[in-house]
Structure 1
Amino acid sequence: MTDSPARPAPLADPHLVYDPLAGDGPKDVVVLGSTGSIGTQAIDLVLRNPDRFRVTALSANGGRVALLAEQAHRLRVRTVSVAREDVVPALREALAAAYGPGEPLPEILAGPQAATELAASDCHTVLNGITGSIGLAPTLAALEAGRTLALANKESLIVGGPLVTALAKPGQIIPVDSEHAALFQALAAGTRADVRKLVVTASGGPFRGRSKADLADVTVQDALAHPTWAMGPVITVNSATLVNKGLEVIEAHLLYDIPFDRIEVVVHPQSYVHSMVEFSDGSTIAQATPPDMRGPIAIGLGWPERVPDAAPAFDWSKASTWEFFPLDNDAFPSVNLARHVGELAGTAPAVFNAANEECVEAFLNGALPFNGIMETVTRVVEEHGTPETGTSLTVSDVLEAETWARTRAREITAKTATAEARA
């Protein structure tokens, strides 16, 4: 296979380094979502490597102000922001308690646009560790401001694909998801023209090996018992339905400009191999580490340099078994549905993502059975139909589609719950 010379470069390319602010000394980093899983691990990495990284600003939703204040003090940041304006008084108290007498306190920003403002602030790299499609505006702001974007917020790329691709310069985005950081590193082994297939690995979640019928009566507790990763409830349920893999397939297509029919998902229970690239000569390059997000975070912040001892390595003196299984698309239809909405493009991925978020919330609240998550999402996607926006997608289009999808998912869920109660 050969590439047309006119074909644009992919968003994420390990052979290209976007570094307009290169210079001596540590990189200035803004961390969005600093009190979440990605943010806390990123800060741990920064504190262990002060010669490489310096955090200048932190952003969080506002649910953990004591932790945010502690992070701000340890890192000596200039600015902290919270999305929730109602927690500003509590944040001021927490900062006063964390800082010593006479120490200058950081500037505080608050409100829904605070993270977006920080994403455009003066820095080298923005780490977007926000969860959900609310991360789209900060992603766009960081790209427009010319920052290197270490992207852990997959939803912003998925729901705003054309918006992101229109702004991002070659090499400006470094993926932080473990699967996409793995693909990013494996792609460095060859040229783009030599790539035959991307292979995204999935742990299989807590329900690996179960049929669709077996999943009819699983509980919330069952779904939250992930065998490998410790994550928040929404992401853990997405892992149980394999929606997370569907989102990652869309993300891989957008990041690496590989057609959907050349992106495969395989189940790998040990979660040691984070993804693979198959090249045209038959060689497959795999990226493998013990499950630990600090490695992908280090790639996102440090590339093209590697950060020594960023994460644990394997002990090759000990025997281990690595298994791979085909994906059961009947029990887990989310991946094929994601391919479908990815090919539709426009607002379809936003509808898929928003409907899923509503359905997961309903499942967690006991208002929807496990299999009802994907049944409802499928129905919402079908009702949405083929989007008409095409390449002219706007932020307003995305927000409008998300609002419609959330409303429709809630309506269907309510009718389902009423019908089951009558039965």
Structure 2
Amino acid sequence: YARGPEELEELARTAADVVNGIVGSAGLPASVAALESGNRLALANKESLVAGGPVVLAAAERGGGEIVPVDSEHSALFQCLQGEDLSSVTRLILTASGGPFRDRADLSDVTLGEALAHPTWNMGPRITIDSSTLMNKAFEVIEAHLLFGISYDAIDVVVHPQSIVHSMVEFADGSTKAHVGEPDMRVPIQYAITYPDRAPGGERFDWSDRTLTFEKPDFDRFPLLGLGYDAGRAGGSAPATMNAADEIAVQAFIDGRISYGMIATIVEMSLERMGVQAIDTVADVLAIDTESRNVAAEIAGSC
């Protein structure tokens, strides 16, 4: 096993198949190392792609590495796109459970316990809170754009509380392909490791007595989703700033130093203060990450 960042990078360079599940932007160097060495990267660390998108894609082009997504939504899109011509794709549709506050009008007094009570998935604290604010879905929009080269205007989010349809692809002829299954992360993880083959496993899906519902997300109650689209369209350092600021804001909420509603405010103010800068190297991304964290921490401290 690796005992530090340098050893992680060395492992990523030497292993033909790399699974990156490192939390946060710390996973970026390993992702770049794997791809520029021509290896297959099963990517579960969405932050490295969100924060360092241009750097990660350049590494893949430079070294010939391949990204196979592990996130359930992006694995679903990836599987739906197998054998398809990307020029025939008219829309990518990411599904969101809606989190614990889908039907809650007033989010001003949300408690930590309420934010951590995800109705479908059992995840760590940050990603669970990001799911409740739809920040996680904002990251996934950016990730989908980077992975598949589809315009932000052609990437939609739909709330699907049952978490049975993991994502969908719409085509020029009006047809839609959906990836359907029980909410079980073992399926996309296994597919990323065995791709292009499929290995036995997974729970058989029972179609009987199932009701599946879909609705539009509320951008007013969940402003971080809209900020994610804005940051993605701005490009450059904006997604890295958004990721760093969100991590600081979420931790401040967990620590009881800010209210739930201030998470979005801190992210928005951090994006405004940092602006958009070019990022060409891992060092550029990590420098933006550090500076953005400092800015977000200063804002959080003044709240």
Name the structure 2 match of 1:183: 77
1:403 aligns with 2:296: no
Q: In 2, Cα distance between the equivalents of 1:386 and 1:272?
A: 37
Gaps of 5+ in 2: none
1:217 aligns with 2:109: yes
Matches within 5 A, 1:159-178: 159-169=51-61, 172-178=66-72
Among 227, 230, 233, the residue aligned to 1:337: 227
Q: Deviations over 1:20-58 (max 9, x none)?
A: xxxxxxxxxxxxxxxxxxxxxxxxxxxxxxxxxxxxxxx
Q: Deviations over 1:45-75 (max 9, x none)?
A: xxxxxxxxxxxxxxxxxxxxxxxxxxxxxxx
Amino acid at match of 2:133: T
SS of the aligned residue for 1:312 comes to coil
SS of the aligned residue for 2:219 comes to coil
Amino acid at match of 1:194: S
Name the structure 2 match of 1:196: 90
Aligned CA RMSD, in angstroms, stands at 1.2
Name the structure 1 match of 2:142: 250
Among 239, 242, 261, the residue aligned to 1:352: 242
Runs of 4+ in structure 1 deviating by more than 2 angstroms, as ranges, are: 111-114
1:383 aligns with 2:282: no
When Rg is computed on C-alpha atoms for both structures, the one with the higher figure is 1
Q: Which has the higher contact order (CA 8 A, sep 6+)?
A: 2
Q: In 2, Cα distance between the equivalents of 1:116 and 1:240?
A: 33
Q: Deviations over 1:329-363 (max 9, x none)?
A: 00111121111111111111110000000000000
Q: In 2, Cα distance between the equivalents of 1:359 and 1:137?
A: 24
1:295 aligns with 2:187: yes
Q: Deviations over 1:158-198 (max 9, x none)?
A: 11111111121477111110000000011125311110000
Amino acid at match of 2:233: E
Amino acid at match of 2:125: P
Q: Closer, same or farther in 2 for the Cα pair 1:279/1:171, shift >3 Å?
A: farther
* Offset at residue 313 of structure 1 (A): 2.1
1:321 aligns with 2:208: no
SS of the aligned residue for 1:276 comes to strand
Q: In 2, Cα distance between the equivalents of 1:208 and 1:171?
A: 39
Aligned residues: 301
* Offset at residue 113 of structure 1 (A): 2.4
* Offset at residue 203 of structure 1 (A): 0.3
Q: In 2, Cα distance between the equivalents of 1:246 and 1:117?
A: 31
* Offset at residue 111 of structure 1 (A): 2.3
SS of the aligned residue for 2:114 comes to helix
- Are the counterparts in 2 of residues 197 and 277 from structure 1 also a CA contact under 8 Å? yes
Q: Deviations over 1:368-408 (max 9, x none)?
A: 11110011100110111232x1xx52222211211111111
Name the structure 1 match of 2:13: 120
* Offset at residue 112 of structure 1 (A): 3.1
- Are the counterparts in 2 of residues 266 and 327 from structure 1 also a CA contact under 8 Å? yes
Name the structure 2 match of 1:57: none
1:308 aligns with 2:195: no
Q: In 2, Cα distance between the equivalents of 1:216 and 1:393?
A: 39
Which structure's residues are more often helix, by fraction?
Answer: 2
- Are the counterparts in 2 of residues 189 and 285 from structure 1 also a CA contact under 8 Å? no
1:144 aligns with 2:36: yes
Fraction of identical pairs, as percent: 51
Matches within 5 A, 1:50-129: 80-81=1-2, 110-121=3-14, 123-129=15-21
Q: In 1, Cα distance between the equivalents of 2:206 and 2:176?
A: 22
Q: Give the TM-score, by structure 1 length.
A: 0.70
166-175 or 237-246, which deviates more: 166-175
SS of the aligned residue for 2:261 comes to helix
Amino acid at match of 2:16: H
Q: Deviations over 1:68-99 (max 9, x none)?
A: xxxxxxxxxxxx12xxxxxxxxxxxxxxxxxx
Matches within 5 A, 1:228-267: 228-267=120-159
161-170 or 285-294, which deviates more: 161-170
- Are the counterparts in 1 of residues 37 and 65 from structure 2 also a CA contact under 8 Å? no
SS of the aligned residue for 2:5 comes to coil
Q: In 2, Cα distance between the equivalents of 1:396 and 1:126?
A: 22
169-178 or 351-360, which deviates more: 169-178
